[in-house]
Each structure stands twice: as C-alpha cells, then as structure tokens.
Structure 1
Amino acid sequence: MTSTVSKSIAFDYPQQNAAGATCTAQAWAKTPPQLHGTEKAAVIARIKQLLIEKDAALVAHYYVDGDIQDLAIETGGFVSDSLEMARFGKNHPAKNLIVAGVRFMGESAKILSPEKRVFMPDLEATCSLDLGCEASDFAAFRAMHPDRTVVVYANTSAAVKAQADWMVTSSCALAIVHQLKLEGKKILWAPDRHLGRYIQEQTGADMLLWNGACIVHDEFKAVELEMLMAAHPDAMVLVHPESPQAVVDLADVVGSTSAMIKAVVEGTATEYIVATDNGILHRMRQLAPNKVLIEAPSAGNSATCKSCAHCPWMAMNGLQGILNCLENASGEIFIDEPVRVKALGCIDRMLDFTKNHPDLLAQAQHGFVKNIGVA
C-alpha cells in the first residue's frame, strides 16, 4: 500500500475571551491521503472485516466524505447529524465506536458510553466553534453571570459541556430554549453567535451570547446568494442557522442538517439552493435523486473563502484513518471521569427532553422547517 504525506492547510477562526475581546487565532487542518482503485477497494474490504471482528460500529456525520458515509450505512452503522449520532452511539450494542466527524462528536459518544472504546480517524479534527470557546475562558465568562441558565451548543469540548446546564443541537435548540423561556429562565448561550441570535429572535428569550462562529457557515454571503437566487428564481433556499442573519433572512427553510435533508426529500420544488457544508449533498442526492441541488456560494468578492463550503476538519476523516483505528487502536478518545460525569448531565437532559416532548419539537411555529417541523 502506498504512503502519502498529508497536506496541511491553515485557517483562521474568531475567538472571544471572557472579557468579550476578540482576536484572530490560527487553526489548521490536513487533508488525508486519497485512495483510488484497487487500493481503495482493499482498504474498504479490510475495514468491513475488522468492524465485525472488533465488534465495532461506524458512525458518520453528513459532512464527511461520501465514501465514509456509504461505508457506515453498508456496515450497519449510521449517518446523521450530531443529535442522532449521540443517540445511536448510546443505544448500539457494539463494544467499540468509530466516530467519523469532529472531536466534540467523539467526546459526546464517550460521555454517553463510558464502557465503550471510542475512536476517531484523526483526533486533531476539531471545530472552529470548539476552538473559539476555550474552557477556562468560558468558566470566567460564566462566573460573571451566575443567574443565567447555561446552554451550550453541541460544538463544544467536554470541558465546556461540564459547565453547562443544557447541551443542544441545531435540531432541538429552538424548542429547548423556548421551553426555558416559558419557565422564566435567562440564558447564557455559547458558542455560535448566529444560531444564538436566530433562537433569540424566534423565542424572545433573554439570551447573552458568546461571540463564536463556524468558519463554514460564517462565509456564506447574502450578495452572492441573491445573485444565485436571481439565476434560479424557482429554487427553494435552504440555510443553516449558523449562518449570518442576512443569509438566514433569504431562506425558505432554516434548519439543521436533518431538517434540510427532510425539506429536499419531502419538498415539491425541483431545485434547491443549499447553504451549508457541501458534504451534505452526497446524502441528499442519494435520497432525492430527482431533485436539482445547487451549492450556495461562499466565494466571491465579499468572501475570504476560508472554507469554500466544506469544513476543513471534517475533511480530515479518511478511509485510512478508519483502518488505523481498527488495526492499531489509534485515535482513542479519553475523558477524565469527573469531567465526563458533569458533562453527561447536560447531554442526558437534552436527550430526555427530545424523547419526552416530541410535540414541542414538531410545532412548526417553533421549528426550523417551515410547514414541516423539526427533523
């Protein structure tokens, strides 16, 4: 088998400290070796064999490479958004979990399943939201507002989740914050400011927002989207709520990855402009082969194209990395038990809410998908 050196690429991400000051820090990602032909087929066959021998299940996010998504489905694993990944990993009987995504997803799987060994193709695959919300800075920020209920997005480290009352994903955040608002709670929200602003606008909740952003969704620009819409006037526009307000305001559907897929599958439009990580297009094309999918631009004169609509850290997941997990037990996730136990509370609270209040998740007026409900 040939050996290829990974290519490193630098990316910028916004970061805020506890005092509210922002700076530009630098993150990096590397693209894994690309496999082709007989070499690729051999690696896939070996992975399938070892998943059985090692009593392992492969869980993949919609944003990772299409070959990995297909492999997860073919082997009885799962492809989903972060909420369903958390549920699947907790409920699957396998002793070992391979999580193809970014580090917070692997940590969440370990938090929920401490008895299992959890591995990732590359432990350095992280997230700009996670990087931009360091645990000690967040602790200081939280200490300044002790009267607020702490709600953190899934895209955070285990150490940040350990400080939270609730963890949410984009599938359930709106319903949970709406319920907290009805209970008279004031919210301290972290880390994505765009998602936080959207939820605040929709619910009217009293929310104090951390200043973080996803480098993929933050790059979508209204001016380019408007030009694309003019060229495709009958297309339905799907936007993730991690995007800037001007982009969200142009959307027909604002929703999580699952909600966007549901909108394409169940929608009556022929064309769909998709403003999220382009990794999702692979699954959309499989589930709705008769629909025309148009990738929303994150380039153009008003964008820096740090992401070009694909998360650089999601791109670090490769077939060879999965094979290394199975052959060499590389990329294992470890979390200190006191941190894990504290973080477990906020995740279990979310899972219990979504299980016990499906009616709240399905209310269109409080949901992400217009006339469909939360997926």
Structure 2
Amino acid sequence: MTNRVVTLAHYYTQPEIQQMADKVGDSLELSLYAREAEADTIVFAGVRFMAETAKILNPQARVILPDAGSTCSLVTQTDVTALKRWRESHPDHVHVSYINSSAQHKALSDWIVTSRNVDDIIAHLYAEGKKVIFSPDRNMGAYLNYQYGYDMPLWSAVCEVHDKFNEAALQEAFDAVPGSKYLIAHPESPLPVLKKADYVGSTSGMLNWVKAYQGDARAVIFVATEDGILYNMGLARPDLDLRQAPIYAGCQCNSCPYMKMNTIEAVRRAQQGEGTEIDYLGEAEMAAARVPIERMLEFSRRYYA
C-alpha cells in the first residue's frame, strides 16, 4: 500500500529545506494546505505548534515533526493553567489567540488568528460590539491597540526572535544609509520598531510588498522579521537591496533557533517515517481546538475570496 507523504515548510526554514517541500508558506497558507492535503503522512518542517495544527485539521493523517525540540517561545512562555484563570477573569470578552500557540491554548480560545488576518478578524469582532482579550503575543496585541485604538487586555509572551529588534539599532542603521530607506516589519516586533515601519504585515504580506515594490531602485529595504524570508524575497526581487533589520549595532543575524532545527537530515528521516509524531493529542482536546481554527478558516475563505 502506497504511503503518500506531503512535506510542508515554513518560510523561516533554510532554503534547502524549502526546496524539499511540496508546499512553502506562512502559517495561514500551510494550515489551509494541511487541512485539504490528501496525505497519509504530513512532514511539517516548522515548529511544534504548526505540526499540532496540521494534526488538528487533518486528524486522519500521520503528522511528523522532524525535530522534537522545535518549539516556540510564545508557547514556552505561556502557562496554560494561568491562561485559563486569565480567560475566566474576563468572562464577557471574546478570547482571540494567535496561531503561535499550543493545542491546549487553542482549546481555550474562541478565535484563532494569524498575522495575515488578525486585523480583519478583530475589527469584525469589534464591529459586532464584542470585547476582546488577546493572547499570547504581547507585541502584536500592543500594536493592534495602538493602531486601532482598542483596549484589549493582553497576555504577556513574546517571540524571542522578533522581540530582539530595537529602535536604537534600527535608527543607527537608518543613519548609515544616505539615500532612500524603508522598513517593513512583522507585527511580532516591539511597538517602537513598528511605529517606524512603512509596512507592517504577515510573512506573506511582507513578501508581497517586496514583489510589488516600484520605488527608488537604489533604496535600502530593511526587513524586521526572521532571516529565512530574505531568501524568498531575494528570489522574487534580486534587483533590490534587502537587509534584515539589526538587533544591535552592526548585527543582521536574527534567526529562529527552533526553525533551524529542521535540518536536511532531520527532514529526510521524517519523510521516511522517523521523528516526533504528533500522536499525543486527545480527541476532545483536538475537537475543542478545531472550533476556533475552523472559525478563522471560514472567515478567511469568505473575506479573502
């Protein structure tokens, strides 16, 4: 009997890993692909919460994470018991959670969002007269509160990669460029950095911004996100001067250590059936987590169709 293996890779993995994949994308794209994949085995070259999401959306498939250690600081910084108490302390609020969260976290949520659809989903909820609490990413929530005048109570976890970007290092880099310069940034970055950005958006959103750029060809475009996406941006626009935003003076070296655990050897082993299988989630837990994810996917299908 043939075992159909589908390999998914996030933009933040190494170029050689992306070249091994059937689908490369951001969290929303990969979630949709995993849901519809006609696969016996899904190899998810990303981090654990992504593989868990794939299992939740496609429970019949065997889902394998190449390296057991590829977690996410937004997950490790969130105590689910404390999160449950926090949610219960806001009984009249809708709990919106970023997809960068554990299955247990998702099961305590009313809506799941990605960086691509978070603005639209929260705007939709406020338009309906709802009050919102937002978890786990404090930086993303702070930006939404600032940008739209919301007063959402926020959980207090951060992405350890994006949180390293800082205004002082960025200003120093800007000052060293005599001509035109731009900053595009992921909303997981700190608010002072996001306030300086010409564009704030998801991984795919930033990639599309670069693809569509028609400004000064000599401009320097600083990118405040994980360095993996620079590969895709460079392929799309080799004519542009694209640089990762610095985390301190002189350093453009900000990588997610968990994404980089997806080595060629680890992915090959996973494609052969070895690795960390996502087989520890209970049916009730997956069913509870699936509800807010499907709510997001249905909204995205209608809103972005």
Q: Fold conserved (TM > 0.5)?
A: yes
Whole-angstrom distance in 1 between the partners of 2:36 and 2:165: 36
1:298 and 2:247 equivalent? yes
| 1:81 Cα deviation after fit | 0.6
Equivalent in 173, 176, 185 of residue 118 of structure 2? 173
Match of 2:43 in 1: 98
Match of 1:368 in 2: none
Q: Map Cα deviations across residues 287-329 of structure 1 (whole Å, 9 max, x no partner).
A: 112222111111339xxx9x94111111111111112213343
CA RMSD, Structure 1 to Structure 2 (Å): 1.8
Q: Contact between 1:134 and 1:160, CA under 8 Å: does it hold in 2?
A: no
Aligned sequence identity (%):
38
| 1:229 Cα deviation after fit | 1.6
Match of 1:29 in 2: none
Instruction: Name the SS of the counterpart of 2:288 in structure 1.
Output: helix
Q: Contact between 1:216 and 1:308, CA under 8 Å: does it hold in 2?
A: no
Match of 1:125 in 2: 70
1:340 and 2:286 equivalent? yes
Equivalent in 275, 281, 285 of residue 330 of structure 1? 275
Whole-angstrom distance in 2 between the partners of 1:323 and 1:134: 33
Whole-angstrom distance in 2 between the partners of 1:127 and 1:330: 18
Match of 1:206 in 2: 151
- CA change 1:281–1:183 in 2 (3 A) is same
- The 5-angstrom pairing of residues 1-375 of structure 1 reads 54-72=3-21, 77-232=22-177, 233-269=179-215, 270=217, 271-300=220-249, 308-334=253-279, 335-358=281-304
Whichever residue aligns with residue 182 of structure 2, its letter is M
Whichever residue aligns with residue 266 of structure 1, its letter is A
Instruction: Name the SS of the counterpart of 2:8 in structure 1.
Output: strand
Instruction: Name the SS of the counterpart of 1:188 in structure 2.
Output: strand
| 1:123 Cα deviation after fit | 2.1
Q: Contact between 2:68 and 2:275, CA under 8 Å: does it hold in 1?
A: no
Whichever residue aligns with residue 318 of structure 1, its letter is T
Whole-angstrom distance in 2 between the partners of 1:157 and 1:256: 20
Give the ranges of 4+ consecutive aligned residues of structure 1 lying more than 3 Å apart after TM superposition.
none
Match of 1:371 in 2: none
Whichever residue aligns with residue 192 of structure 1, its letter is D
The size of the alignment, in residue pairs, is: 300
Whole-angstrom distance in 1 between the partners of 2:222 and 2:151: 32
Q: Map Cα deviations across residues 65-90 of structure 1 (whole Å, 9 max, x no partner).
A: 11001221xxxx11111010100111
Q: Contact between 1:248 and 1:254, CA under 8 Å: does it hold in 2?
A: yes
Q: Contact between 1:130 and 1:155, CA under 8 Å: does it hold in 2?
A: yes
| 1:184 Cα deviation after fit | 1.1
Q: Map Cα deviations across residues 230-257 of structure 1 (whole Å, 9 max, x no partner).
A: 2234122111111111111111111110
Instruction: Name the SS of the counterpart of 1:264 in structure 2.
Output: helix
TM-score, structure 2 normalization: 0.94
Q: Contact between 1:200 and 1:206, CA under 8 Å: does it hold in 2?
A: yes
Q: Map Cα deviations across residues 125-147 of structure 1 (whole Å, 9 max, x no partner).
A: 00000111121121111111111
Query: Any stretches of 5+ residues in structure 1 without a counterpart?
Result: 1-52, 360-375
Whole-angstrom distance in 2 between the partners of 1:89 and 1:328: 17
Q: Contact between 2:95 and 2:132, CA under 8 Å: does it hold in 1?
A: yes
Q: Map Cα deviations across residues 36-61 of structure 1 (whole Å, 9 max, x no partner).
A: xxxxxxxxxxxxxxxxx631111100
Whole-angstrom distance in 1 between the partners of 2:129 and 2:244: 40
Instruction: Name the SS of the counterpart of 1:123 in structure 2.
Output: coil
| 1:331 Cα deviation after fit | 1.2
Whole-angstrom distance in 1 between the partners of 2:282 and 2:171: 48
Instruction: Name the SS of the counterpart of 2:285 in structure 1.
Output: helix
Query: Any stretches of 5+ residues in structure 2 without a counterpart?
Result: none
Instruction: Name the SS of the counterpart of 2:19 in structure 1.
Output: helix
Whichever residue aligns with residue 149 of structure 2, its letter is G
Whichever residue aligns with residue 246 of structure 1, its letter is P
| 1:215 Cα deviation after fit | 0.6
| 1:176 Cα deviation after fit | 0.3
Whole-angstrom distance in 2 between the partners of 1:300 and 1:312: 21
TM-score, structure 1 normalization: 0.77
Whichever residue aligns with residue 39 of structure 2, its letter is A
